[in-house]
Amino acid sequence: MSNTPLTLYELTHLIRQIVEVNFDHTYWVTAELSDVRPGHHCYMELVEKDASGSEPRAKARAQIWSRQWSYLKPRFESATGQPLSNGMQVLAEVEVTYHEKYGLSLNIVDLDPTYTLGDIARRRQEIIAKLKSEGIYDLNKSLELPALTNRIAVISANSAAGYQDFCKQLHNNPYNLRFEVGLFEATMQGSTVESTVIAALDRIFAEIEKWDVVVIIRGGGSTSDLSGFDTLLLAEHVAQFPLPIITGIGHERDNTVIDEVSHTRVKTPTAAAEFLVAHQYGQLQRLNGFEDLIVNYCKQRLTDERNRLSRATDKIPTLFTLRKEREIHHLANLKNALETAIRSHKIEQTATLQLMMETLRHAISKYFIENQSQLKLIQTHVDSASPARLLKLGYSVSRVNGKAVKDVSQLRAGDQVVTTVANGTFVSTVNQAPPPDYEEERKKSPFALDKDTYLA
């Protein structure tokens, strides 16, 4: 080992010589593209990731010089329908180079589009398999296209020729059908396709009651810009959107993932307009057919009803006679039943009254018998208190002016007193009226004269 140190340039130049000697031919390499920067030349980074797909296990700078780039770019995009972009898997023929100032890098001299096509198809199939496993692949396809689709929400670039062609074809239809179109702008190519189309779908959803159908259109341009429509997130939004989605974003031979999950796929914006016009015209024809059916049905119904009314009118006299006889017979039956019921009720009530009279008579007789002794006792008391009996016992009744004398203070000198005894009456004259304190004096002396002493 030499003890003389090398300069950095001397070391890197040595490495360059070793590389040039040992890597003197090209190699076919598979890798994933990262940090792609196209321009006059195309710079990028080649990456190989580990089994988890999250960490790189190898990296290398790479470039396509302008001479190869002017040839490889159109050939690759024509074959794959897509430009070189981040995350794309490629099979590249490379030269290993080393530069003292720029270090190790790989010069790409050729690309195999068939390898990338296979990877694109594989990734599309993986997305489709994922959508099917989530159970949403056929959701938008299963929606029923509304009978009227004249309120159309369009997702497109405002300046896109395809949008202008769509509106022209729609509004200048030969059937003079009217449509309402609302534009929800989005990017139709490049890395922002996914985010802007999803944002447009969100804006439509916020006012979903205003629209019948959604149309995603992209007219003209290169088919190499369709990769933005081949993402899982965008496909999930389209598949689960609650309105039918019609896609017209590529040429007839191009088919993206959102074409797979949309309700209807047409090849161009003009074809989308023709589809909607044809659908609307079909509904118009259907309505016209319904109109004819309704008119014919109403005519036939009127004829049937007139015939039925005529037959009913002819039957009215006979029906009236039958009904009258039936009602007369019914009234006669009711009359007989009522008379029978009245007679039966009268007999029942008469028997009841007789029974009640006998019961009452028996009760009164029993009552008098039970109370006869009490009546006799009462009669005895009444007889003992009779004025005639009292008169026979020696009592008398004195009256002045027809009023019985109950107190001597009622008497005045000269009063005519009529006295009734058991066998007649006599008249007395009061000679001297008793003193006012007669009652008091009589109570004091047991020998006081009776009040009759004052009678003449």
pLDDT in tens, 78-125: 888 788 988 889 999 999 999 999 999 999 999 999 888 888 888 888
pTM for the full predicted model: 0.54
pLDDT in tens, 405-452: 888 778 888 888 888 887 888 888 888 877 666 666 666 655 454 544
**What is the rounded distance in angstroms from the CA atom of residue 148 to the CA atom of residue 278?**
11
Same fold, 8-127 and 137-282: no
Q: Is the torsion defined by CA of 260, 262, 265, 268 positive or negative?
A: negative
pLDDT in tens, 332-370: 999 999 999 999 889 999 999 999 999 998 888 888 888
Give yes or no for a contact between 60 and 104, defined as CB atoms under 8 angstroms apart: yes
Of 115, 108, 124, the residue nearest 36 (C-alpha)? 108
The tokens for 405 are 């004398």
pLDDT in tens, 199-240: 999 999 999 999 999 999 987 555 556 778 989 999 999 999
Give yes or no for a contact between 56 and 197, defined as CB atoms under 8 angstroms apart: no
pLDDT number for residue 451: 46
- Tell me the average pLDDT of the chain: 87
Of 57, 45, 33, 49, the residue nearest 103 (C-alpha)? 45
Top-level class of domain 8-127: mainly beta
- If you ran DSSP here, which 8-state letter would residue 191 be given? T
CB atoms within 10 A of CB 190: 12
Report in angstroms the alpha-carbon separations of 158 from 184, 207, 318: 8, 20, 80
**What is the rounded distance in angstroms from the CA atom of residue 456 to the CA atom of residue 433?**
11
**What is the rounded distance in angstroms from the CA atom of residue 160 to the CA atom of residue 162?**
5
Specify the higher pLDDT residue, 422 or 156: 156
pLDDT number for residue 271: 93
CB-based contacts of 141, cutoff 8 Å, min separation 6: 261, 262, 263
Per domain, the residue ranges of the chain are 8-127, 137-282, 387-454
**What is the rounded distance in angstroms from the CA atom of residue 47 to the CA atom of residue 17?**
25
**What is the rounded distance in angstroms from the CA atom of residue 178 to the CA atom of residue 280?**
10
Give yes or no for a contact between 248 and 218, defined as CB atoms under 8 angstroms apart: yes
CB atoms within 10 A of CB 122: 11
**Exposure class string for 363-376: b at 16+ Cβ within 10 A, else e:** eeeeeeeeeeeeee
Taking the domain 137-282, which CATH number applies?
A: 3.40.50.2300
pLDDT number for residue 454: 44
**What is the rounded distance in angstroms from the CA atom of residue 390 to the CA atom of residue 9?**
180
